[in-house]
């Protein structure tokens, strides 16, 4: 089976056929940096991360670019409210964005172009549109003339009349100067005190939509394979991007337009402006990052999801099941896993699911099936003596860990090890454990000192049953690993 994707432009599932055989160019619309990211952003970027990982699993070389909108009305408003420079706000929230994404194990894009660093590209594009008659300047502002572009509305499957009647009730401050109510700003003249850049139309700043058209061209070229983002971007943002690019390049801006569904709250889009949001960092104070990632991937990316406490709790326990299946103690071994290590039949089932427009719920159902089998293996024994995993199960384990971790980005972590040297020398460490465990550790240490290895082994077994793995290291130290799951 070949990979099929749902293209918003045709509203159909289509086989993904990139322009070049082995390369896929992919542009994802990035965040406007004026606040902490919420669960809607987490969903969007986890979804496109899995798409990228799966394409890489299929051995495409993915050129992934994601912009940063660091000039915008909302940013300016926040900077004014806090009486700081705009750059102060943007740097703060870019840093926060990166921290959140790292915790969610999202692979960084190859490039993060910033709007403020691409102003000259935008000016050039606006000039080209103006010279071809697609744009007009009015007193320092420049607008796009939607009536000039007959395909305007093709992506969102609406025509100008429908859109106009939908918009007719709106009071539009710019209505008097615009030739058509749906014309949108490419360049906005500067208001006093606002950051501004010189341009042929006087000092000002770019509109939001032109930013992505210019940055796609600049980083990936005139026509790309995949353009992605949340479904709120279909109209007007992506519609406008097409209108700004295609008259100039005479090529489709993107061959495939992919959009993810919303994180909703009582059926409404979670958003900063509605005030119904929960930040990623707040959620990660209570749940493991991979539980949130799992929750997102348990629904198909185009469906809406609600991240209720019940759903988050269920995901947390689902994540524990997967962790138990992996039984991870040796991170080094995980790093070397590869698709050639996988069981071919399970791999084929997994790919069959993912090939159907990235059906992660099917992929996860396969992984949960594997986790249930693998949970029965004594992973702790395996850690100290690799022969304990039976031949057949070892490949299941490799398949499971590779698909979960490398393709779905569900990163396994070993339980935090607590190192104790000797009981007497490092009482503070031992005191981290309950009295009962401290007593067992002490008795085992005494047994070893009197060379009563049988008794020492018996106590080790008792500790193992209580969830503590005892590893005597060659240098004489003892590593105590608490089994937290
Ligand atoms: N509730 C949500 N569910 C899914 N994706 C979302 C949600 N909210 C925003 N996104 C997506 O996050 C990406 C970054 O969006 P952006 O920073 O412009 O946020 P936004 O849409 O302005 O957020 P807000 O509506 O909260 O102000 C876009 O692709 C957008 O579609
Ligand atoms: Zn964009």
Ligand that lies nearest to the alpha carbon of residue 254, given by its number in the listed order = 2
Please identify, by atom number, the ligand 1 atom nearest to the C-alpha of residue 232: 31
The angle that helices 119-131 and 208-220 make with each other, rounded to 10 degrees, is: 100
d(CA 89, ligand 1 centre) in Å: 18
Report the pLDDT averaged over residues 21-39: 97
Pocket test for ligand 1, best of 29, 36, 40, 45 (most atoms within 8 A of CB): 40
Residues 58-61: contacts with CB under 8 Å, at least 24 apart: 58/3, 59/22, 60/18, 60/22, 60/23, 60/24, 61/22, 61/23, 61/24
- Reply yes or no on whether the pLDDT at 245 is more than 90: yes
Q: What is the pLDDT of residue 104?
A: 98
Ligand that lies nearest to the alpha carbon of residue 209, given by its number in the listed order = 2
d(CA 32, ligand 1 centre) in Å: 9
Query: Which residues fall in the annotated binding site for ATP?
Result: 272
Q: Is the CB of 228 under 6 A from ligand 1?
A: no
Q: Could you read off the pLDDT of 88-125 as tens digits, one per residue?
A: 999 999 999 999 999 999 999 999 999 999 999 999 99
Q: Report which protein residue has its CA nearest ligand 1's atom 21.
A: 271
Q: Could you read off the pLDDT of 124-144 as tens digits, one per residue?
A: 999 999 999 999 999 999 999
Report the pLDDT averaged over residues 475-484: 68
Dist CA 112 CA 370 (whole Å): 37
Pocket test for ligand 1, best of 48, 271, 306 (most atoms within 8 A of CB): 271
d(CA 244, ligand 2 centre) in Å: 12
Q: Report which protein residue has its CA nearest ligand 1's atom 22.
A: 32
Backbone angles phi, psi at 63, to 5 degrees: -100, 100
Q: Could you read off the pLDDT of 194-213 as tens digits, one per residue?
A: 899 999 999 999 999 999 99
Please identify, by atom number, the ligand 1 atom nearest to the C-alpha of residue 30: 14
d(CA 279, ligand 1 centre) in Å: 12
Q: How many residues does the chain have?
A: 485
Q: Is the CB of 371 under 6 A from ligand 1?
A: no
Q: Could you read off the pLDDT of 7-16 as tens digits, one per residue?
A: 999 999 999 9
Q: Is the CB of 305 under 6 A from ligand 1?
A: no
Domains of the chain listed by start with CATH number: 4-269 (3.40.50.620), 308-407 (1.20.120.640), 418-483 (no CATH)
Q: Is the CB of 232 under 6 A from ligand 1?
A: yes
Q: Report which protein residue has its CA nearest ligand 1's atom 27.
A: 272
With cut-offs at 50, 70 and 90, classify the pLDDT of residue 485.
very low
Q: Report which protein residue has its CA nearest ligand 1's atom 5.
A: 40
CB of 462 within 8 A of CB of 439?
Answer: no
Q: What is the pLDDT of residue 303?
A: 98
162 half-sphere exposure, CB direction, 13 A CA radius = 7
Tell me the H-state helices in 375-452: 379-384, 391-401, 427-430, 435-449
Q: Could you read off the pLDDT of 423-453 as tens digits, one per residue?
A: 554 555 666 678 888 889 889 988 988 989 8
Ligand that lies nearest to the alpha carbon of residue 213, given by its number in the listed order = 2
Please identify, by atom number, the ligand 1 atom nearest to the C-alpha of residue 230: 31
| Percentage of the chain lying above the pLDDT 70 cut | 89
Both structure tokens of 266: 């009582």
Q: Report which protein residue has its CA nearest ligand 1's atom 6.
A: 40
d(CA 134, ligand 2 centre) in Å: 20
Place of tokens 């670019």: 65
């Amino acid at each position: 089976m070949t990979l099929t994707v749902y293209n918003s432009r045709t509203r159909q599932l289509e086989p993904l056929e990139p322009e070049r055989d082995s390369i896929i160019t992919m542009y994802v619309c990035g965040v406007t940096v004026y606040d902490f990211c919420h669960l809607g952003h987490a969903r969007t970027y986890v979804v496109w991360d899995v798409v990228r990982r799966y394409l890489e699993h299929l051995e495409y070389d993915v050129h992934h670019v994601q912009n940063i909108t660091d000039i915008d009305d909302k940013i300016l408003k926040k900077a004014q409210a806090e009486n700081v420079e705009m750059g102060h706000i943007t740097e703060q929230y870019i840093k926060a964005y990166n921290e959140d994404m790292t915790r969610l194990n999202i692979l960084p894009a190859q490039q993060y172009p910033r709007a403020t660093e691409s102003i000259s590209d935008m000016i050039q594009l606006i000039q080209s549109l103006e010279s071809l008659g697609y744009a007009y300047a009015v007193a320092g502002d420049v607008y796009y003339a939607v009536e000039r572009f007959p395909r305007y509305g093709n992506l969102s499957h609406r025509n100008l009349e429908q859109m106009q009647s939908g918009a007719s009730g709106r009071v539009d401050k710019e209505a008097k100067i615009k030739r058509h109510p749906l014309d949108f700003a490419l360049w906005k003249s500067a208001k006093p005190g606002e950051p501004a850049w010189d341009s042929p139309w006087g000092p000002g700043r770019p509109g939001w939509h032109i930013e992505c058209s210019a940055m796609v061209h600049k980083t990936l070229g005139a026509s790309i394979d995949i353009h992605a983002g949340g479904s709120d971007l279909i109209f007007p943002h992506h519609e406008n991007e097409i209108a700004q690019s295609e008259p100039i390049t005479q090529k489709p801006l993107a061959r495939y337009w992919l959009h993810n569904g919303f994180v909703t709250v009582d059926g409404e889009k979670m958003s900063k402006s509605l005030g119904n949001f929960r930040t990623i960092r707040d959620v990660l104070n209570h749940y493991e990052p991979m539980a949130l990632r799992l929750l997102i991937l348990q629904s198909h990316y185009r469906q809406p999801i609600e991240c209720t406490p019940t759903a988050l709790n269920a995901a947390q326990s689902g994540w524990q099941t997967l962790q138990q299946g992996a039984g991870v103690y040796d991170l080094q071994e995980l790093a070397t896993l590869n698709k050639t290590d996988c069981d071919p039949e399970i791999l084929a089932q997994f790919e069959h699911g993912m090939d159907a427009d990235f059906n992660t719920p099917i992929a996860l159902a396969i992984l949960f099936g594997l986790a249930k089998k693998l949970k029965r293996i004594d992973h702790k024994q395996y850690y100290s003596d690799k022969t304990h995993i039976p031949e057949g199960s070892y490949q299941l384990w490799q398949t499971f860990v590779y698909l979960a971790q490398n393709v779905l980005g569900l990163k396994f972590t070993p339980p935090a090890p607590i190192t104790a040297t000797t009981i007497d020398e490092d009482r503070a460490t031992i005191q981290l454990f309950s009295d009962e465990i401290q007593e067992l550790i002490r008795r085992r240490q005494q047994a070893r000192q009197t060379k009563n290895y049988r008794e020492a082994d018996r106590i080790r077994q008792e500790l193992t049953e209580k969830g503590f793995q005892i590893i005597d290291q060659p240098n004489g130290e003892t590593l105590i690993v608490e089994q937290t799951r």
